[in-house]
């Protein structure tokens, strides 16, 4: 019986594939590679010494998704696939609703048709919007402030309706806080397209000399040093949280929501300082206006996942920065390190078990 990992070539998906394979699971990856690189899957094979099937499929292509279920014995699904850039979602809301929501509905329809009712969904702390208070609990008020966050909230509601309509479903909704870091090998990591939206990849690209300086979006927030405070969680801790949620959905029924965070908030300036200490590089920065839509403080109350999933984050901020730096240092152009001297992407050799339906 296999675990289907949608978006398995992505940042969090690829790290979760490593943990699944190391735990002995048989996995199948489904990815359309619009926001990921097949090279990451080759690295997953290299790191784990295991091979697995990969399908280049878009969730909106219902017949191809159905073919994957028809030709494989799938028991559970970890659903990462989706668009995830907050800023982009504001300018392209329809593609976010189409990709994230319609893609999830199609996936669930086919799961239902094939009797696959175990699902772990990649949600986000963005569903909380501006929290009334911190730390944030799972029953805190929701209030997404952008189309990306609204897709995550709407999908959570859709999945609650599915679970209510058919009690044989077992669904875990995982609300990630701020995933950063990389596998200790330095062979896989976050590989944003173009200019990074998020803080950590931007800091690491400045440290690597790829970018001139970091712009700190505002230092007039009501926080310890005026800069934004977030709950940064190591991507491997996040991946392990998925395995705990997978165990839960395999042995229980119904739907439940879990915050995956450390419960500790760090400011932008603290992140810059820690990264400089760990990397030995300076990260020049300038203070600019606040970024519209940003909130001042956001960090999790992680107790529910600790108590009910037997999971908690174990890697601290220094480790997150150290692992990020190792990846960035060896991959100044991400997976495109294979750019030839003419700065052209060399044809990526697909992973061993690569299929086109
Ligand atoms: C963190 C802090 C910025 C960049 C977003 C999504 C969320 C999740 C994680 C998917 C803030 C500051 C940032 C920069 C800066 N993604 N910053 N200069 O906005 O907390 O969350 O990414 O689920 O859904 O909303 O993360 O890394 O963009 O920002 O000063 O160049 O760093 O103001 O305080 P964010 P972030």
Same domain, yes or no, for 209 and 116?
A: no
Same domain, yes or no, for 85 and 99?
A: yes
Closest approach atom of ligand 1 to CA 84 = 10
pLDDT of residue 354: 75
Same domain, yes or no, for 241 and 314?
A: no
Residues of the chain with pLDDT > 70: what percent?
95
| Cα 107 to ligand 1 centre (Å) | 29
| Cα 75 to ligand 1 centre (Å) | 35
* pLDDT tens digits for range 269-319: 999 999 999 999 999 999 999 999 899 999 999 999 999 999 999 999 999
Q: Which residues approach ligand 1 with their CB closer than 6 A?
A: 84, 86, 124, 126, 176, 178, 197-199, 202, 214-217, 228, 230, 268, 291, 294
Closest approach atom of ligand 1 to CA 125 = 24
pLDDT of residue 351: 58
CATH code for the domain in which residue 15 is found: 3.40.50.720
Same domain, yes or no, for 29 and 162?
A: yes
pLDDT of residue 350: 59
Single pTM value for the model: 0.95
148 belongs to the catalytic site: yes
Same domain, yes or no, for 134 and 243?
A: yes
* pLDDT tens digits for range 165-212: 999 999 999 999 999 999 999 999 999 989 999 999 999 999 999 999
| Cα 230 to ligand 1 centre (Å) | 8
* pLDDT tens digits for range 56-74: 999 999 999 999 999 999 9
Please indicate, yes or no, if residue 192 is contained in any of the structural domains: no
* pLDDT tens digits for range 95-147: 999 999 999 999 999 999 999 999 999 999 999 999 999 999 999 999 999 99
Tell me, letter by letter, the H, E, C secondary structure of the chain.
CEEEEECCCCHHHHHHHHHHHHCCCEEEEEECCCCCCCHHHHHHHHHHCCCCEEEECCCCCHHHHHHHHHCCCEEEEEECCCCCCHHHHHHCHHHHHHHHHHHHHHHHHHHHHCCCCEEEEEEEHHHHCCCCCCCECCCCCCCCCCHHHHHHHHHHHHHHHHHHHCCCCEEEEEEECEEECCCCCCCCCCCCCCCCCCHHHHHHHHHCCCCCCEEEECCCCCCCCCCCEECEEEHHHHHHHHHHHHHHHHHCCEEEEEEECCCCCEEHHHHHHHHHHHHCCCCCEEEECCCCCCCCEECECCHHHHHHCCCCCCCCHHHHHHHHHHHHHHCCCHHHHHECCCCCECCCCCCCEEECC
- Structural domains of the chain, count: 2
The mean pLDDT of the chain is 95
Q: Does residue 91 surpass a pLDDT of 50? A: yes
Please indicate, yes or no, if residue 79 is contained in any of the structural domains: yes
Same domain, yes or no, for 160 and 204?
A: no
pLDDT of residue 352: 66
Please indicate, yes or no, if residue 307 is contained in any of the structural domains: yes
Same domain, yes or no, for 104 and 250?
A: yes
Our mutation pick for probing the ligand 1 site, out of 271, 294, 297, 299, counting the most ligand atoms within 8 A of Cβ, is 294
Whose CA is closest to atom 17 on ligand 1?
199
Closest approach atom of ligand 1 to CA 200 = 27
Q: Which of 11, 148, 176, 221 is an active site residue?
A: 148
Q: Does residue 343 surpass a pLDDT of 70? A: no
Please indicate, yes or no, if residue 191 is contained in any of the structural domains: no
Give residue 321's domain range: 199-230+264-356
Same domain, yes or no, for 223 and 255?
A: no
Same domain, yes or no, for 223 and 256?
A: no
CATH code for the domain in which residue 225 is found: 3.90.25.10
Please indicate, yes or no, if residue 194 is contained in any of the structural domains: no
Q: Does residue 21 surpass a pLDDT of 80? A: yes
Our mutation pick for probing the ligand 1 site, out of 125, 178, 211, counting the most ligand atoms within 8 A of Cβ, is 178
pLDDT band for position 337 (cuts 50, 70, 90): low
């Amino acid at each position: 019986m296999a675990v289907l990992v949608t978006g398995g070539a992505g940042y969090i998906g690829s790290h979760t594939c490593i943990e699944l394979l190391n735990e002995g699971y048989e996995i199948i990856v489904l990815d359309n590679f619009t926001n990921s690189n097949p090279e990451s899957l080759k690295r997953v094979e290299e790191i784990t010494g295991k091979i697995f099937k990969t399908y280049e499929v878009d969730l909106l292509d219902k017949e191809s998704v159905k073919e994957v279920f028809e030709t494989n014995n799938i028991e559970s699904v970890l659903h990462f696939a989706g668009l995830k850039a907050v800023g982009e979602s504001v300018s392209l809301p329809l593609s976010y609703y189409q990709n994230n929501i319609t893609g999830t509905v199609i996936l669930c329809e086919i799961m239902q048709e094939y009797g696959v009712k175990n699902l772990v969904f990649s949600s986000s702390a963005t569903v909380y919007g501006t929290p009334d208070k911190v730390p944030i609990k799972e029953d805190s008020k929701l209030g997404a402030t952008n189309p990306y966050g609204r897709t995550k909230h709407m999908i959570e509601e859709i999945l609650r309706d599915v679970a209510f309509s058919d009690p044989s479903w077992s669904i875990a909704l995982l609300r990630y806080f701020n995933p950063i870091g990389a596998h200790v090998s330095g062979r896989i990591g976050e590989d944003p397209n173009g200019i990074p939206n998020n803080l950590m990849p931007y800091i690491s690209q400045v440290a690597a000399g790829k970018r001139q300086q970091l712009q700190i979006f505002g230092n007039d927030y009501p926080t310890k040093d005026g800069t934004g405070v977030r709950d940064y969680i190591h991507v491997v801790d996040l991946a392990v949280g998925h395995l705990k949620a997978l165990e839960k959905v395999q042995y229980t029924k119904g739907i439940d929501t879990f915050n995956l965070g450390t419960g500790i908030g760090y400011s932008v300036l603290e992140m810059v300082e820690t990264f400089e200490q760990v990397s030995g590089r300076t990260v020049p920065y300038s203070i600019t206006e606040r970024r519209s839509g940003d909130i001042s403080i956001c960090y999790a109350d992680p107790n529910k996942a600790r108590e009910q999933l037997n999971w908690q984050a174990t890697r601290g901020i220094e480790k997150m920065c150290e692992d990020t730096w190792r990846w960035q240092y060896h991959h100044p152009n991400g997976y495109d390190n294979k750019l030839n001297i003419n700065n052209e992407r060399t044809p990526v050799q697909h992973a061993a078990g690569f299929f086109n339906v």
